[in-house]
Chain A
Amino acid sequence: MSYEIIIGLEIHVQLQTKTKIFCGCSTTFNPDHPNVQTCPVCLGLPGALPVLNEHAYYLGVKTALGLGCQIAPYTKWDRKQYFYPDLPKGYQISQFDLPFSHHGQVDVVTGDSSANGGNEPTVRRVRILRAHLEEDAGKNMHDESGRGRDSKVDLNRAGTPLVEIVTEPDLRSADEARRFLEELRLMLTYLEVSDCNMQEGSLRCDANVNLHVTQPDGTKVPTPIVEIKNLNSFRFTEQAIEYEVARQWESFQQTGIRMGAKGGHKRTVGFDPNRGSTYSLREKEEAADYRYFPDPDLVPVMTSVEKINSIRAEMCELPATRRQRILDEFQLSPYDAAVIIDQGRAVADYFEEVAKTCGDGKQAANWLTQDMQAAMKERDETISNFPIRPHVLSALLDRINKKQITIKSAREVFTTLLEDADSGHPLSANRIDELVKSRGLAIVQDTGPIETAIAEVLSRNAKAIADFKSGNEKAIGALIGQVMKSVKGADPQTVREKLLAKLGE
């Protein structure tokens, strides 16, 4: 028997509004001051009237367009009814049969073709069933002593706007699920619709997992679906799915229980990262009977093609499109393009500015992914507060391209610029030229001194010459080194060529 893994995800994304979705309370994450961001609307007091935050709808539409969804011209609000202490009204305002958007797709690169030599990347197309808006619940805090003491409820978060994104069951491995979530998070941060801060719960994921087992006679049998709730990190999502896959496979081999058979109903579980295993959750309602009905307090939202197009026009280029574009425009490897785009919009903007002004995308990519990355890490800085701004880096790279300085010298200048910045000196292209001059880093264009040095070096290295001539090509390295030492600023390529010519005489 073999099996195929079937995964669908439901992702809750907190939208970056200042206020809650149906009232004017702040959405600031504020766990140290519980219950200070509430009002009659989000407390669910009788007689309070919710009114939709237009910015929440706008950000929702932006998100949905990023997911390639269609935007419904007409959408309404429904009450999803269940009892839980973090839900003050006894129902959640959500969307049932007329969500504001539906039917999109996201392509996820699932194979690292670029790293192992450039075949076409493998791509998984994940269909989006729908994306709807809803309000978040509050937060319950359980008594950790385990002695059944009271639970505490903080309603600061109650009423925070969420987009719930529901995928079709199109993912085929835990790794694919993680990659999908990474691409989704990247897209949401590019669009600036959510900060996607997982520690603060701005992005949460539920995973529906089961197996399609191919039996010896060729028939396919689905195992019972398990929904893993409330995964708040990508790593946990991956681990939880891997655990469930192994558990379901083992269980199916032992019991043969298939979806829908006795004992084969859908179950809801949580994931315990400490134990690395899932555990059953108590069902909130028997058979989840939410008795949705239209919320009479809220009126429908209608939109037009013109409005949708104007929102579309305000959207930035999506990461997937941008990856492909910078790859084509600056002749990058898929790997470099991904490393730059995946670090976020600020890094991508920085890169493009440098690449365009210095005219060498490959050089800019190398510096960004190597020297800059290492320096930012060491200095604990982000691209936005890194002291070397794009025009200065571009000027430096321009000097390399024009063969005025070597890469090694450029590194020296780069380090000095950072020191300059730390002691409060302004950085500029002029400062680069100053450094090149004062340290004698300019590549010596006049080959006279190089030839003199070569003659001198050759005169006292009979052994190295003999080694080289007897086939030890490495011996030339030492000779180049000595020439470079005596002519500061010599271009190693020129030295090598001239040395080879001399040795070949």
Chain B
Amino acid sequence: MELSRDVVRKVADLARLKVSEGELDSLVSDLSAMIGYVQVLNEVDTTDVAPMVHAVELHNVLRSDTIIESLPRSEALSNAPRSDGSYFLVPAIIESE
């Protein structure tokens, strides 16, 4: 299956990946090859097979509503690119157009 450059560009955009025009060509062919590989599955006859919604066969893994101590704030913020010691800091968010 052949992916278009536009589709790959859009997927990269949605994933916030910066992809140069040069990289696009190799991504298009690599991703097309991967999808082609998985497409083998299309040949299987699934007429009487119920759709699978989850790969793991477990269900109802639950925890009780009991508090577990949270991280100290300093630790919570420690991986952030920027913080002021209380909050995570991010570039100004502009909500209206």
Mark A residues whose CB is within 8 Å of B.
17-19, 23-26, 33-40, 43, 45, 51-57, 74, 76, 81, 83, 85, 98, 140-143, 148-155, 270, 279-282, 285-286, 289, 291, 294, 296, 298-302
* A residues near B66, Cβ cutoff 8 Å: 18-19, 24
* B residues near A26, Cβ cutoff 8 Å: 67, 70
* B residues near A55, Cβ cutoff 8 Å: 64-65
A279 to B71, CA, bound (A): 39
B55 within 8 Å of A (CB atoms): yes
Q: How far is the CB of A223 from chain B (nearest CB, A)?
A: 20
A301 to B61, CA, bound (A): 8
Q: How far is the CB of A98 from chain B (nearest CB, A)?
A: 7
A270 to B13, CA, bound (A): 26
Compute the total of residue contacts between A and B using a CB distance below 8 Å: 143
Which 3 residue pairs across A and B have the least CB separation, nearest first? A24-B68, A152-B87, A55-B65
CB-based nearest B residue for A59: B65
B34 within 8 Å of A (CB atoms): no
A300 to B67, CA, bound (A): 23
* B residues near A35, Cβ cutoff 8 Å: 73, 76-77, 86-88
* A residues near B38, Cβ cutoff 8 Å: none
A23 to B68, Cβ gap below 8 A?
A: yes
CB-based nearest B residue for A146: B92
* A residues near B84, Cβ cutoff 8 Å: 152
Known A-B contacts: A142-B92, A150-B82, A151-B90. Give 16 more (CB < 8 A): A34-B73, A34-B86, A35-B73, A35-B77, A39-B68, A54-B64, A76-B53, A76-B54, A143-B92, A150-B91, A152-B88, A270-B96, A280-B96, A291-B14, A299-B61, A300-B60
CB-based nearest B residue for A156: B70
Out of A281, A285, A302, name the residue touching B14 (CB < 8 Å): A285
A152 to B89, Cβ gap below 8 A?
A: yes
A153 to B88, Cβ gap below 8 A?
A: yes
A56 to B66, CA, bound (A): 12
* A residues near B94, Cβ cutoff 8 Å: 282
B97 within 8 Å of A (CB atoms): yes
Size category, B interface: 35 or more
Out of B55, B70, B82, B96, name the residue touching A38 (CB < 8 Å): B70
A155 to B75, CA, bound (A): 13
B55 to A296, Cβ gap below 8 A?
A: yes
B63 within 8 Å of A (CB atoms): yes
Chain B 11-23, CB-CB to A under 8 Å as 1, else 0, gives 0011010000000
CB-based nearest B residue for A88: B88
B6 within 8 Å of A (CB atoms): no
Given A53-B62, A296-B55, A36 and B70 contact (CB-CB distance below 8 Å):
yes
CB-based nearest B residue for A297: B56
Given A17-B65, A289-B14, A149 and B92 contact (CB-CB distance below 8 Å):
yes
Out of B56, B63, B76, name the residue touching A52 (CB < 8 Å): B63
Q: How far is the CB of B17 from chain A (nearest CB, A)?
A: 11
* B residues near A302, Cβ cutoff 8 Å: 59-60
B95 to A18, Cβ gap below 8 A?
A: no
A51 to B61, Cβ gap below 8 A?
A: yes
Given A143-B92, A151-B93, A52 and B77 contact (CB-CB distance below 8 Å):
no
Q: How far is the CB of B56 from chain A (nearest CB, A)?
A: 5
Given A150-B82, A301-B60, A282 and B89 contact (CB-CB distance below 8 Å):
no
B44 within 8 Å of A (CB atoms): no
* A residues near B87, Cβ cutoff 8 Å: 34-35, 141, 152-154
B79 within 8 Å of A (CB atoms): yes
